[in-house]
Chains A and B, each alone.
Chain A
């Protein structure tokens, strides 16, 4: 078994198992905690809890106008790398093929040159947020080792994917194996670090949306 076979085979299988089980464990561990019912009477005209939750889930995609200036870099840069990651993961033909083999789902691919360009921009955007984390006094104070690991686990698949596509640095098979191994690492790390916000964001925003819509406040 060469490196590529190992990456495509056991490494990815183990990683997927850890990803699925770990994610389910963490989600269940939080969502099954005691739920305290809000017994206070709702504000007259308050929306249904689900409507309040959905509103905040959508509304928090961008900042309120009064925070737009102070949060501009983070907002724009975060949009760039989130959209960039989505385009790269779901737009490249080989990725769609991989997902088709795994789940049976598929859709039309984007032109590979376009995806490559988006990949470069995404990586640059990730580097920008890392620089900010290392330099901005607030982010530096808040950051834990896990934040840097999460950054690395996100950036490595993008970087190795770009290298594999451009055939730079090693044989294609080796680069591809490294790319797949980096994805395996990402999947293994996902349930344990903050990358879980990819799922948790909806619950977290939703809980606040429910709390405040009950009071007649749009947050």
Chain B
């Protein structure tokens, strides 16, 4: 039987922000694209041989077998901008019309490929025979899409909120009240806005909403080791939505808020929450915005726990159970904390049963790069979740642990939608719950 004729057109897979005309949007995207081409980006644009192997690494391609999800194809407009405007033969390319300038229609259609179906997890970077860092190029392409006002509306909404509040979910002025409530609920003191402290502790958006126990867990450990620490209204959310959205101005502002606040209170360390993109934005990119070597050390919660356990400043009770670990991309593949996470798991006494794809080559949860917040991407994300779920089940491990709040939300959503009873546990929470005297 034929499907009944639809009376409405299908919803386009793109959103627009602002009042710019079509031509202005194309021009803004092109100007931004061209600014991205430093030597590494240009080398990577020049070296592709169109072998297509990157598809074999991408969870979105593997889950759907749809060639449009081939990672390097997501860069097609960025590639055209490069060859027309920035490559060594650009004048010839333009004069002969060898590469067409992207159109507004193409930019709109590519929004889905750049935002909905790329988590910037960088698994494709691992397989490319030319070593092209496709994930980084997608991030750079997002800068142009943002300038053109062509990003998913949900991400744009979070962007506007973060510009106003310093966080996509929580106004800065609410922080003291939230911390007071969490403190009362869990019976752990959480200092806020101290004028001087050694460690500036930051949060991920979910920790100020659904995962507030993470704040109490961090506080419990920090209080145990007896350091002077604080959270601070002027720099409290490390997730950096600007990094994900392609809003460089916001990325810089949020980065500076953290570093400047740390400097202001005399902190030597900024402790990042269990959040992948916070690590990518702060640990590896903060110095770029600061313009010099940073005056503070930036450290992820997983590293912090690893160092405390290794130095004996905290001890944990052993958990006699088997566990498998989901490697958050920005922390492990693009962050280098593969061994640190495993040392913490070992300290907890877990018998670790690795996923089929683990460590540097682990599959993304499917929600990174803002995809978890992008409602339009939900059906695609669900397909990717099935892959992760199958790998977790194949291990037969009793517990399922990760060290990124966004991964946890993505995996929890997937579990809820598929009635999967496996709980995704936080490494921080496990350490805090099993602190030994």
Q: Does A33 contact B (CB under 8 A)?
A: yes
Q: Are A71 and B47 in contact (CB under 8 A)?
A: no
Q: Are B40 and A28 in contact (CB under 8 A)?
A: no
CA distance A74 to B51 in the complex (A): 8
Q: Are A142 and B47 in contact (CB under 8 A)?
A: no
B38, B50, B73, B132: residue with the most chain A Cβ atoms closer than 10 Å: B50
Known contacts A25-B88, A71-B56, A217-B334: A39-B47 contact under CB 8 Å? no
CA distance A219 to B287 in the complex (A): 23
For window 32-85 of A, CB contacts with B under 8 Å fall at 32-36, 38-41, 43, 56-57, 60, 63-64, 66-67, 70-71, 74, 78
As a 0/1 sequence over residues 346 to 370 of chain B, the CB contacts with chain A under 8 angstroms (1 = contact) are 0000000000010011000000000
B44, B51, B86, B131: residue with the most chain A Cβ atoms closer than 10 Å: B131
Q: Are B131 and A208 in contact (CB under 8 A)?
A: yes
Q: Are A39 and B43 in contact (CB under 8 A)?
A: no
Q: Are B125 and A207 in contact (CB under 8 A)?
A: no
Q: Are B46 and A200 in contact (CB under 8 A)?
A: yes
Q: Which chain A residue has the least Cβ–Cβ distance from B292? A: A39
Q: Does B68 contact A (CB under 8 A)?
A: yes
CA distance A201 to B290 in the complex (A): 32
CA distance A66 to B53 in the complex (A): 13
Q: Does A30 contact B (CB under 8 A)?
A: yes
Q: Which residues of A contact B53 (CB under 8 A)?
A: 63, 67, 70-71, 74
As a 0/1 sequence over residues 191 to 219 of chain A, the CB contacts with chain B under 8 angstroms (1 = contact) are 01010110011011111110110011111
Q: Are A217 and B290 in contact (CB under 8 A)?
A: no
Q: Which chain A residue has the least Cβ–Cβ distance from B332? A: A217
Q: Are A215 and B42 in contact (CB under 8 A)?
A: no
- Of the candidates B131, B294, B357, which one forms a contact with A219 in the assembled complex, judged by CB atoms under 8 Å apart? B131
As a 0/1 sequence over residues 168 to 210 of chain A, the CB contacts with chain B under 8 angstroms (1 = contact) are 0000000000000000000000001010110011011111110
- Of the candidates A39, A56, A137, A194, which one forms a contact with B49 in the assembled complex, judged by CB atoms under 8 Å apart? A194
CA distance A67 to B129 in the complex (A): 11
Q: Are B89 and A192 in contact (CB under 8 A)?
A: yes
CA distance A9 to B405 in the complex (A): 68
CA distance A67 to B288 in the complex (A): 33
- Of the candidates A66, A136, A139, A207, which one forms a contact with B43 in the assembled complex, judged by CB atoms under 8 Å apart? A207
Q: Are A30 and B42 in contact (CB under 8 A)?
A: yes
Q: Which chain A residue has the least Cβ–Cβ distance from B45? A: A30
A32, A60, A212: residue with the most chain B Cβ atoms closer than 10 Å: A212
CA distance A68 to B39 in the complex (A): 30
- Of the candidates B43, B50, B56, B70, which one forms a contact with A147 in the assembled complex, judged by CB atoms under 8 Å apart? B50
CA distance A138 to B51 in the complex (A): 9
Q: Does A26 contact B (CB under 8 A)?
A: yes
Q: Are A201 and B47 in contact (CB under 8 A)?
A: yes
Q: Does B48 contact A (CB under 8 A)?
A: yes
Q: Are B52 and A205 in contact (CB under 8 A)?
A: no
Taking the nearest CB of chain A, how far is it from the CB of B133, in angstroms? 5
Q: Does B336 contact A (CB under 8 A)?
A: yes
Q: Which residues of B contact A67 (CB under 8 A)?
A: 53, 56-57, 126-127, 361
Chain A interface residue count: which class?
A: 35 or more
Q: Are B38 and A40 in contact (CB under 8 A)?
A: no
Q: Are B51 and A40 in contact (CB under 8 A)?
A: no
Q: Does A105 contact B (CB under 8 A)?
A: no
Q: Are A207 and B73 in contact (CB under 8 A)?
A: no
CA distance A38 to B285 in the complex (A): 8
Q: Are A204 and B87 in contact (CB under 8 A)?
A: no
Q: Which chain B residue has the least Cβ–Cβ distance from A33? A: B39
- Of the candidates B44, B73, B297, B334, which one forms a contact with A141 in the assembled complex, judged by CB atoms under 8 Å apart? B73
Taking the nearest CB of chain B, how far is it from the CB of A197, in angstroms? 5
Q: Which residues of A contact B88 (CB under 8 A)?
A: 25-26, 28-30
A66, A71, A136, A216: residue with the most chain B Cβ atoms closer than 10 Å: A66
Q: Are B52 and A136 in contact (CB under 8 A)?
A: yes
Q: Which chain B residue has the least Cβ–Cβ distance from A36? A: B38
Q: Are B284 and A215 in contact (CB under 8 A)?
A: yes
27 cross-chain CB contacts under 8 A: A30-B88, A31-B43, A33-B86, A35-B38, A35-B39, A38-B284, A38-B287, A40-B286, A41-B293, A43-B336, A56-B131, A63-B129, A64-B126, A64-B361, A67-B56, A74-B53, A138-B70, A138-B73, A140-B67, A141-B73, A197-B130, A204-B130, A205-B130, A212-B336, A215-B336, A217-B335, A217-B336
Which A residues contact B (CB, under 8 angstroms)?
Answer: 25-26, 28-36, 38-41, 43, 56-57, 60, 63-64, 66-67, 70-71, 74, 78, 133, 136-144, 147, 192, 194, 196-197, 200-201, 203-209, 211-212, 215-219
Please name 9 further chain A to chain B contacts, defined as beta carbons within 8 Å, in addition to the given A35-B38, A39-B291, A60-B128, sorted by A numbering: A33-B86, A78-B51, A143-B50, A200-B130, A207-B39, A211-B40, A212-B336, A215-B334, A219-B125
A-B residue pairs, 4 tightest by C-beta: A29-B88, A216-B336, A205-B131, A39-B287
